[in-house]
């Protein structure tokens, strides 16, 4: 059992600390007995004092559990009072065992003598109580921290799934309309191919875990299906250029990260232009970073589209940026006008590889 699991199991953690603490108490006193040249029989006194101390402090645990929700000043008074009573009883036992067993039945002239030097015992029990509450509060803080982290992770996962599954319904409507048109024109072979590609792309988008990252080459394969579907719609009006380095293909990226960017390019650069246009997708590595770029030769940014708004060009871009913010601490996301014309989106991610394929 590792330490974290031990701390989480409060009952077992208490017994480990309780028994270990009193064994440590006995060991310290045993080592100290060498300085005072005690007889071997003093070992019995040490062990008995440690055992009785452990037994007397044990009920304090159950008392403190009952008074845990008291007002602070009442709780402090209870701790001091209980520690004093237990410490006094333990001190009396230590005096009794020392004089009756180690000093061979010595009896004091006054019974009050058994209550001498009990202040030290009170301090030890008070320290035990302080450690009990300190460790208890530490366990509570750790539990609350774990709950907060779990809640944050669940929120992030829900947000990532929501963002990843925001597949533009216009793409589906346009694709289905194109298939319907092909069927009406009796181009059944082309329609069948389009249905197959759409099925494969939707299967990939729905079955790929949005929390996990996939290799870029797997993403490229899915994006190729998407672009082939769009190419059937736009025919020669859509031109695509891939510039992917061999090392970049093996890098890990969030699934369907580039799809909203390509969709924006098709919507604002290809569909809006009667002559169509060109989309260029670039992926390369530089040092410890993966550099991604999606560019087009459309009209580029204008004042109304310069921000990541909830309208127009900003939908897919804002979606992508929000996913990156959730997944990475170190990244960059930049939008600029392409040269000589068009829009360009650049993304920098930490370079990660699958441990199996690297």
pLDDT in tens, 256-271: 888 888 888 888 888 8
Q: Give all strands (DSSP E) within 102-209, no chain letters.
A: none
Using the CB atoms, write b or e for 51-65: b if 16+ within 10 Å: ebbbebbeebeeebe
Which of 26-35, 154-163, 235-244, 338-347 shows the lowest per-residue confidence on average (mean pLDDT)?
154-163
Q: What is the mean pLDDT of residues 151-179?
A: 62
In the chain, what are the domain boundaries?
A: 3-159, 167-350
Local structure of 167: helix, strand or coil: coil
In the predicted structure, residue 245 carries a pLDDT above the cut 90? yes
Angle at 296 between CA 291 and CA 298, to 5 degrees: 150
By C-alpha distance, which of 293, 255, 260, 283 is closest to 351?
283
Q: Categorize the per-residue pLDDT at 347 as very low, low, confident or very high, splitting at 50, 70 and 90.
A: very high
Q: Give all strands (DSSP E) within 90-143, no chain letters.
A: none
Q: What is the mean pLDDT of residues 48-77?
A: 89
**How would you classify residue 245: left for phi > 0, otherwise alpha for psi between -120 and 50, otherwise beta?**
beta
pLDDT of residue 160: 54
In the predicted structure, residue 308 carries a pLDDT above the cut 50? no
Cα separation, 162 vs 319, in Å, equals: 10
Cα separation, 344 vs 296, in Å, equals: 7
Q: Categorize the per-residue pLDDT at 253 as very low, low, confident or very high, splitting at 50, 70 and 90.
A: very high
pLDDT of residue 5: 63
Q: What is the mean pLDDT of residues 175-193?
A: 78
By C-alpha distance, which of 4, 21, 10 is closest to 129?
21
Tell me which of 3.30.565.10, 3.10.520.10, 3.20.20.70, 3.90.650.10 is the CATH number of domain 167-350: 3.30.565.10
Read off φ and ψ for residue 347, nearest 5 degrees: -125, 135
pLDDT of residue 322: 81
pLDDT of residue 226: 85
Tell me: cis bond preceding 175? Omega within 30 of 0 counts.
Answer: no
Residue 16 tokens, joined: 């480990």
DSSP state, residue 200: H
Name the pTM for this structure: 0.55
Cα separation, 61 vs 81, in Å, equals: 14
Q: How far is CA 60 from CA 11, 54, 73, 136, in A?
A: 14, 10, 18, 13
In the predicted structure, residue 338 carries a pLDDT above the cut 60? yes
């Amino acid at each position: 059992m590792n330490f974290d699991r031990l701390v989480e199991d409060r009952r077992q953690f208490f017994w480990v600390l309780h028994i270990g603490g009193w064994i440590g108490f006995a060991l310290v006193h045993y080592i100290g007995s060498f300085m005072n040249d005690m007889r071997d029989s003093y070992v019995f006194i040490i062990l008995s004092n440690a055992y009785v101390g452990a037994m007397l402090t044990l009920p304090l645990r159950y008392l403190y559990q009952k008074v845990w929700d008291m007002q602070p000043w009442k709780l402090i008074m209870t701790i001091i009072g209980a520690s004093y009573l237990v410490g006094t009883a333990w001190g009396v036992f230590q005096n009794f065992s020392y004089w009756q067993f180690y000093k061979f039945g010595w009896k004091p002239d006054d019974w009050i003598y058994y209550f001498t030097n009990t202040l030290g015992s009170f301090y030890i029990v008070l320290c035990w109580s302080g450690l009990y509450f300190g460790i208890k509060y530490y366990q509570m803080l750790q539990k609350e921290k774990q709950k907060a982290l779990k809640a944050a992770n669940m929120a992030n996962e829900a947000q990532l799934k929501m963002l990843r599954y925001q597949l533009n319904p216009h793409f589906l409507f346009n694709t289905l309309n194109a298939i319907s048109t092909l069927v009406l024109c009796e181009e059944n072979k082309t329609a069948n191919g389009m249905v197959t590609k759409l099925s494969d792309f939707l299967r990939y988008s729905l079955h790929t875990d949005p929390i996990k990252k996939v290799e870029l080459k797997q993403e490229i394969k899915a994006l190729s299906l998407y672009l082939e579907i769009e190419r059937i719609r736009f025919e020669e009006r859509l031109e695509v250029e891939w510039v992917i380095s061999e090392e970049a293909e093996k890098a890990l990226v969030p699934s369907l990260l580039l799809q909203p960017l390509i969709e924006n390019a098709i919507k604002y650069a290809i569909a809006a232009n009667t002559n169509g246009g060109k989309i260029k997708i670039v992926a390369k590595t530089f040092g410890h970073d993966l550099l991604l770029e999606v560019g087009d030769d459309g009209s580029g940014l204008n004042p109304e589209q310069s921000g990541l708004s909830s309208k127009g060009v900003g939908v897919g871009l804002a979606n992508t940026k929000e996913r990156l913010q959730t997944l990475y601490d170190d990244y960059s996301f930049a939008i600029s006008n392409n040269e000589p014309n068009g829009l360009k989106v650049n993304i920098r991610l930490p370079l990660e590889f699958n441990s199996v394929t690297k």
